[in-house]
Amino acid sequence: MTFVAKSKNNKEEFLSNFVAQDFPQNLYLLKIKEEAELALRLLDVPTTRSENWKYTRVAGLLNRKYTQTTPENFLKDFNFWKTDSHLFVFINGFFSAELSKLGKEEGAFILPLSMARRKHPEIFEKHFGQLARHKTEFFTALNTVYHTNGAFIYLNDNTRLIRPVHMVNLCGSSEAAFNPRNLIILGKNSSAKIISSFEAAPNTASTFANVVTEIFSEENSNLEFNLIQNENSGSAQINTTHLEMKSGSHAETFCLTTSGALVRNNLTVSIEGENSEARLNGIYIGNESNHIDNHTLVEHKKPGSYSNELYKGIMGGKSTGVFNGKVLVSRDAQKTNAFQSNQNILLSDSATVDSKPELEIYANDVKCSHGSTTGQLDDEAIFYLRSRGISESQSKQLLLHAFASEAVNKISLKTVKEYAALLVEKTLNR
């Protein structure tokens, strides 16, 4: 794989923005780092010539100058969203012990990733880098070499986490670039509810977050994972999550994106055991010139598993949305039930959505379906509401809230559901 001179120079200038973090002198971790460094040298930066990046241009990221430092002001007065939870706070990718509140629960290890390397090396080495594709994906390799810090969550077998874990990622300065890395392991018969939220301090611009999260869900475990992206119109984020599910496990994911100059979410769910169930839900709302791209892949590898996916988009202004969801059913995954739906509403003539749901099936005893719709608000529904004395603007708001609420109502955590509904309302009213 080669570059033309200009592309190569741009890539090298882009990489020069980042500061490599110290890896412990551990043969396994050094091997992972060396593999990722080699990938960065060999891999092309993704372009629209690649099918997976056909609708998303990242070239603009390469032309920016970034800093990778913590701001002097730790933003004690910043009113970021808080929950009654184990609270991680990361500012520009660096852990803030001062703002974080990490409690203790029996059977659980909840601590910063950098600390987990030292305190739990056997667990760390067994899992770190095993799901994330740092050899073949450019931005995953970038994160592996340059990740700053992140959350480490480990539950022993038969551990039910009483309080949720909330990972707050706060961008505190303009032109900040950071690479958060999270590692989550749920033991057999364990359960956890996890929130990952991204917020930006006022007046920040041209920021870039490149996130990688690896999640291992062992037999009969139960996971709820909520991703809330609420930065600003000048932010860019590439968020990669890989979830591996063993037999009898259950997982629900939710993703809400309310802004961003460029947001790309890569979610891979690998169902490695029988009788597992995965539910994926998402809402993306675009305004101005936002670009929001959701790529999902659900891999059914064993018999008797179930997946159901619902993503909804509301795009206004000159925003662009992308949904590319793929369900892959292997030859051994008989008795699979897999369903996928993508629904979009365009609020202006300048807004666009590219939707590409896919099914790839190699088993012959399955029930699978997918569908995609894109259109405008129903004129008859608006007319009906107006005939009841409701104004046109209020009628449109009611219909949009009803459209979004189907996905929001699937969230089980009350605080997350309320906050997501508030963000949806705030975004639709701006």
Per-residue confidence band for 77, with pLDDT thresholds at 50, 70 and 90: low
Q: Give helix then strand counts, H and E, for the chain.
A: 9, 20
Residue 205: predicted pLDDT: 83
Residue 429: predicted pLDDT: 85
d(CA 267, CA 281): 11
d(CA 75, CA 85): 20
Cα(first)–Cα(last) distance of the chain, in Å?
45
| Average pLDDT for 118-146 | 95
Mean pLDDT of the chain: 91
Q: 0.75 exceeded by the pTM?
A: yes
Q: Is 102 helix (H, G, I), strand (E, B) or coil?
A: coil
Residue 162: predicted pLDDT: 96
pLDDT, tens digit, 9 for 90 and up, residues 32-63: 999 999 999 999 999 999 999 999 999 889 88
Number of Cβ within a 10 Å radius of residue 72: 7
Question: Is residue 254 scored above 90 in pLDDT?
Answer: yes
pLDDT, tens digit, 9 for 90 and up, residues 115-129: 999 999 999 999 999
d(CA 81, CA 26): 37
| Average pLDDT for 201-205 | 80
**E strands within 128-190?**
151-155, 165-171, 177-178, 181-186
Q: Regarding beta strands 94-95 and 191-200, do their DSSP bridges make them parallel or antiparallel, or are they unpaired?
A: unpaired
Per-residue confidence band for 79, with pLDDT thresholds at 50, 70 and 90: low
Instruction: Please state, for a pLDDT cut of 90, what percent of the chain lies above it.
Output: 75
Alpha-carbon distance values, 427 to 98, 216, 400, 411 (Å) = 31, 33, 11, 19
What is the identity of the amino acid at 13? Answer: E
| Tokens 């880098």, located at residue | 129
d(CA 56, CA 47): 8
Output 259 or 202, whichever has higher pLDDT: 259
Encode 125-147: b = buried (16+ Cβ within 10 Å), e = exposed: bebbbebbbbbebbbbbbbbbbb
Q: Is 241 helix (H, G, I), strand (E, B) or coil?
A: strand
d(CA 418, CA 424): 10
| Average pLDDT for 268-289 | 96
Kindly report the backbone phi and psi dihedral angles of residue 358, in degrees, each rounded to the nearest multiple of 5, phi listed first.
Answer: -135, 145
Residue 395: predicted pLDDT: 87
Handedness of CA 59, 64, 67, 71 (dihedral sign): negative
d(CA 416, CA 194): 10
